[in-house]
């Protein structure tokens, strides 16, 4: 597995891009992202669990993720699926939420006033042969490069967990 990431999505748009090559076919990685029973096993940084995972994977469908931090604190995110091209790519909005799925500002979780309420996550899966898949994840927009870097660190940890899950080592 290889990894590269960048804290910049566009010239005026702090965000991130993470690329990984997984030793698994695109259909398997697709299921890991789109089926709650698989997604909840790997999503989130190291030490974070997901007791609640609701995915209505269709255009206009919503997700609601409840994450439990190692220190016992939790937080929620929600969003809407905006684009779906089966086994190839999808995009969704992602925003901080309360347990009922209502969007809340970042300040609800102790973040700064300038934290963006909503970002857009795009996942692209490319079959590169030999049972391997290149995954490209883009997330825009963040309030600043530091927030984008923190998100990048979190995504890289989550994708490490996904790689372990796919290898049967989780």
How far is residue 167's CA from residue 98's CA, in Å, rounded to a whole number?
Answer: 33
Instruction: List CB contacts of 95: < 8 A, sequence separation 6 or more.
Output: 77, 78, 79, 103, 117, 118, 119
DSSP state of 59: T
Give residue-wise pLDDT tens across range 26-36: 999 999 999 99
Cα–Cα distances (Å) from 39 to 43, 81, 169, in that order, read 6, 15, 15
Res. 48 pLDDT band, cuts 50 70 90: very high
In sign, the C-alpha dihedral spanning 124, 125, 127, 128 is positive
**Count of domains forming the chain:** 1
Question: Residue 36 belongs to a domain with what CATH number?
Answer: 3.30.530.20
Six-digit token string for 72: 């016992």
Q: What is the pTM of this model?
A: 0.89
Phi–psi pair at 54, nearest 5 degrees: -115, 125
Q: State the residue range of the domain holding 109.
A: 3-166
Give, in order, the Cα–Cα distances in Å from 29 to each of 11, 123, 156: 30, 11, 15
What pLDDT sits at residue 169? 64
pLDDT in tens, 68-83: 999 999 999 999 999 9
């Amino acid at each position: 597995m290889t990894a590269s990431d960048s804290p910049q999505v566009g010239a005026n748009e702090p965000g991130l891009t993470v690329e990984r090559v997984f030793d698994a076919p695109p259909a398997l990685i697709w299921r890991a992202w789109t089926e709650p029973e698989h997604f909840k096993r790997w999503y989130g940084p190291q030490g974070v669990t997901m007791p609640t995972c609701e995915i209505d994977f269709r255009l206009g469908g919503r997700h609601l993720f409840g994450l439990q931090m190692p220190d016992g604190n939790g937080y929620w995110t929600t969003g809407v699926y905006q684009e779906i091209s089966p086994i190839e790519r999808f995009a969704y909005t992602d925003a901080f939420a309360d347990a009922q799925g209502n969007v809340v500002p970042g300040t609800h979780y102790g973040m700064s006033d300038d934290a963006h309420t909503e970002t857009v996550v795009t996942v692209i899966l490319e079959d590169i042969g030999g049972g391997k898949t290149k995954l490209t994840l883009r997330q825009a927009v963040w309030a600043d490069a530091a927030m984008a870097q923190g998100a990048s660190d979190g995504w890289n940890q989550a994708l490490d967990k996904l790689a372990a899950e796919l290898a049967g080592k989780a």
